[in-house]
């Protein structure tokens, strides 16, 4: 795992945008990119929109989302499919037919989970998967206790996650769905390159658990330690509990150009 500690959230967004840009440019014949919602990747997405406006093309890109709320009607402004269209994919010109996410409005969510797992499998390889992390270490919506080998399925959100996400529902916790569909940790781990971005002190414990803690279902992000190609991009505040932050800074300062991301 490469831990990249940078001064500001803007710097983090630039590095994540660089990683996605490299994958988009490397495969002009078609590439699948995994996208995350939440606030953490927004600066990266804004950077990608700016690059698109400067000429970067995305018409060969297929996007797969990590997760979705169960029970929000299709087109609900806070459904993750709508959020990603609003924040990124419409603005960079990815055909909505090539933006895929679990169908949280399906009458049978278990069937929707199986269908999405099969769809993601058919769209592999996922060249880059952008990730955020919850304050409790969740990745996608894989809450603590999730099997490290899990596949796409229905999960029940913790009350903490519902409270954290109430800000997207006018502060109304009751409006945040209890159930979600999420790619499993095993599903996510099949992407070729995982890029997790976290900023702010509220993420410091989760980041330390993911990067340095034991590999445990109690911190789902710790499963990243088993993946061969992970870039963990954090600002100074989110790096606040990392024991090896100094080493990470040293590595970055002496990085060989050939090493890339």
Q: b/e string for 191-206 if b means 16 or more Cβ within 10 A?
A: bbbbbbbbbbeebbbb
Q: Is 132 in the site for ligand GLP (CB under 6 A)?
A: yes
* Among residues 140, 177, 209, 213, the one that binds ligand GLP under rule CB under 6 A: 140
**CB proximity list for 166: less than 8 A, separation 6 or greater:** 172, 173, 175, 176
Six-digit token string for 103? 């169908």
Q: Is 209 in the site for ligand GLP (CB under 6 A)?
A: no
Dihedral (CA of 243, 233, 30, 149) sign: positive
Distance (Å, whole) CA 197 – CA 230: 11
The helix/strand/coil state of 4 is strand
Q: Is 220 in the site for ligand GLP (CB under 6 A)?
A: no
Total site size for ligand GLP, rule CB under 6 A: 14
Query: Which helix H or strand E contains 85, and what residues bound it?
Result: none
The span of 48-56, 88-96, 131-139, 216-224 binding ligand GLP (CB under 6 A) equals: 131-139
When CB distances to ligand GLP are compared, the closest residue is 132
**Nearest Cα residue to 114 out of 72, 122, 131, 99:** 122
Q: Is 87 in the site for ligand GLP (CB under 6 A)?
A: no
Site string for ligand GLP, 25-54 (x = CB under 6 A): -----------xxxxx--------------
The distance of closest approach from Cβ of residue 243 to ligand GLP in the complex, given in angstroms and rounded to an integer, is 23
* Among residues 129, 136, 146, 165, the one that binds ligand GLP under rule CB under 6 A: 165
Q: Is 66 in the site for ligand GLP (CB under 6 A)?
A: yes
Binding site for ligand GLP (CB under 6 A): 36-40, 66-67, 132-134, 140-141, 161, 165
């Amino acid at each position: 795992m490469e831990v990249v500690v940078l001064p500001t959230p803007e710097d983090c967004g630039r590095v994540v945008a660089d990683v996605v840009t490299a994958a988009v440019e490397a495969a002009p014949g078609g590439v699948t990119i995994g996208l995350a919602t939440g606030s953490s990747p927004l600066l990266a997405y804004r950077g990608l929109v700016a690059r698109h406006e400067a000429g970067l093309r995305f018409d060969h890109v297929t996007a797969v989302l990590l997760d979705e709320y169960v029970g929000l009607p299709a087109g609900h402004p806070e459904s993750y499919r709508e959020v990603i269209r609003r924040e990124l994919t419409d603005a960079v010109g990815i055909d909505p037919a090539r933006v895929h996410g679990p169908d949280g409005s399906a009458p049978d969510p278990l069937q929707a989970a199986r269908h999405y797992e099969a769809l993601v499998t058919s769209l592999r390889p996922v060249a880059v998967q952008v990730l955020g992390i919850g304050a409790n270490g969740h990745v996608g919506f894989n809450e603590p206790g999730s099997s490290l080998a899990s596949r796409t399925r229905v999960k029940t959100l913790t009350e903490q996650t519902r409270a954290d996400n109430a800000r997207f529902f006018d502060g109304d916790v009751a409006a945040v769905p209890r159930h979600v569909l999420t790619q499993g940790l095993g599903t996510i781990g099949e992407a070729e390159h995982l890029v997790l971005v976290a900023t702010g002190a509220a993420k410091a414990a989760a980041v330390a658990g993911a990067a340095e803690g034991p590999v445990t279902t109690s911190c789902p992000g710790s499963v990243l330690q088993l993946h061969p190609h992970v870039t963990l991009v954090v600002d100074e505040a989110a790096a606040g509990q990392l024991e090896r932050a100094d080493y990470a800074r040293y590595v970055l300062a002496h990085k060989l150009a050939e090493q890339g991301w």
